[in-house]
Amino acid sequence: KGRVSMESPQREASIHGGAGGLLKPPAAKRHPVATTHHGITRTDDYAWLRADNWQQVVRDPAALAPEIRAYLDAENAYAAASMADVEELRLRLFDEMRGRIKEDDSSVPAPDGAYAYSTRYAHGAQHPMIVRSNRDGSEEQVLLDANAMAEGKAYFRLGGFAHSHDHRLLAYSSDESGNEYFTIRIRDAATGTDLPDVIAETGGSAIWANDGKTLFYVWIDENHRPAKVYRHIVGSDPATDVVVYSDPDPGFFIAIGQTQSRRFIVIDTHDHETSEARVIDSNEPEGEPRLVAPREVGQEYSVDHGGDRFFILTNAGSAEDFKVVTAPETAPGRA
């Protein structure tokens, strides 16, 4: 049936089982490896397909062992040959689904100060544009055009973006290799030029303090775990950034955010059933993170702020469907 172009006639014949033959999947070689854990020995014939240098491969796919790559290439070629006869149908279905989508879509403008910010897609574009306009809707300014940024690149993904509270700067992140390590850059909103600050190996999100020059972000370690929160000062060398928080438990992950009041930056640490939060005063970004309530296994909570109180969503006290409690910002503990 459907055939695809291969690197050589011999390779094509092997995938199709020879001239006129049926499709035959590639067979991985067997190299038995025995391991013993808890007194039980297990033999894995395909352990060789597990790359020991996977951390390096995530950053540089060319570091993958040639024998593993050759097998994956053969699997991909087999899949392409197997599905070749439905390629026309696949394209027709794609066009039909695309025809039912509003391609020139945009988000609802989010007002902030003198501006309203939104995300917009141009017709036929794969990536968004980040725009802002005056509150009356006039004079739209394109802050980021991810389509232009992606041009000529084999892969591009726009990550998070956040404007400083004085509207002068825009922090944004991107991944240009597909390894999900995002690089943060800072753009001058007035001129559209990027500053020299380049912060690599982040989770993609950046949170501004109220001074308009201090930025918080999460660093991703070699195992792709969100492991540390850093503080960056615009214009400084990222190598001198200060570690604000790191969690000693490898089972916990770290995220950052900001309360709706913009008064506090929130450092959230959590696993699948337990959470813990710390806050930093946005007006004092060099201050130490303050613990809201120590972690207790099985208890989750998240923090917001308004007026002089924290609003906390939690399942503490057997609140199976969660409950909302408040606490003074000076003493937010469970008491």
Please, what is the average pLDDT of the chain? 92
**Sequence-distant (≥ 6) Cβ neighbours of residue 183 within 8 angstroms:** 173, 174, 175, 176, 198, 199, 200, 201, 202
Question: What does the pLDDT read at residue 4?
Answer: 39
Please indicate whether residue 20 or residue 129 has the higher confidence score (pLDDT): 129
Q: How far is it, in rounded angstroms, from Cα 206 to Cα 126?
A: 23
Please indicate whether residue 5 or residue 293 has the higher confidence score (pLDDT): 293
Spatial contact of 53 and 47, defined as CB atoms under 8 Å apart = no
- Cα angle: 88, vertex 90, 94; to 5 degrees: 120
**Tokens representing residue 23 in the block:** 């499709």
Q: How far is it, in rounded angstroms, from Cα 317 to Cα 96?
A: 51
The model's pTM? 0.85
**Tokens representing residue 315 in the block:** 């399942």
**Beta-sheet strand order (sheet of 309-314):** 301-306, 309-314, 323-328
Question: What does the pLDDT read at residue 138?
Answer: 79
Query: What is 237-304 written as a DSSP string?
Result: -GGGPEEEEE-S-TT-EEEEEE-TTSSEEEEEEE-SS-EEEEEEETT-TTSPPEEEE---TT--EEEE
- Decide if pLDDT at 162 tops 90: yes
Note the pLDDT tens digit of each residue in 118-129: 999 998 899 999
- Decide if pLDDT at 8 tops 50: no
Note the pLDDT tens digit of each residue in 28-75: 999 999 999 999 999 999 999 999 999 999 988 899 999 999 999 999
For the stretch 279-292, what's the b/e string if a residue is b when 16 or more beta carbons lie within 10 angstroms of its beta carbon?
Answer: bbbbeebeeebeeb
Q: How far is it, in rounded angstroms, from Cα 314 to Cα 311?
A: 10
pLDDT over 90, % of the chain:
84
Identify the three-state secondary structure at position 64: coil
- Decide if pLDDT at 13 tops 70: no
Note the pLDDT tens digit of each residue in 294-330: 999 999 999 999 999 999 999 999 999 999 999 999 9
Note the pLDDT tens digit of each residue in 204-217: 999 999 999 999 99
Note the pLDDT tens digit of each residue in 217-274: 999 999 999 999 999 999 999 999 999 999 989 999 999 999 999 999 999 999 999 9
**Sequence-distant (≥ 6) Cβ neighbours of residue 13 within 8 angstroms:** 19, 21
Question: What does the pLDDT read at residue 136?
Answer: 82
Question: What does the pLDDT read at residue 309?
Answer: 96
Query: What is 265-280 written as a DSSP string?
Result: EEEEEE-SS-EEEEEE
- Decide if pLDDT at 9 tops 70: no
pLDDT over 70, % of the chain:
93
Question: What does the pLDDT read at residue 22?
Answer: 67
Rounded mean pLDDT of 122-143?
Answer: 90
**Tokens representing residue 229 in the block:** 């929160």
Question: What does the pLDDT read at residue 205?
Answer: 96
CA distances (Å), 230 to each of 177, 254, 256, in order? 23, 11, 10
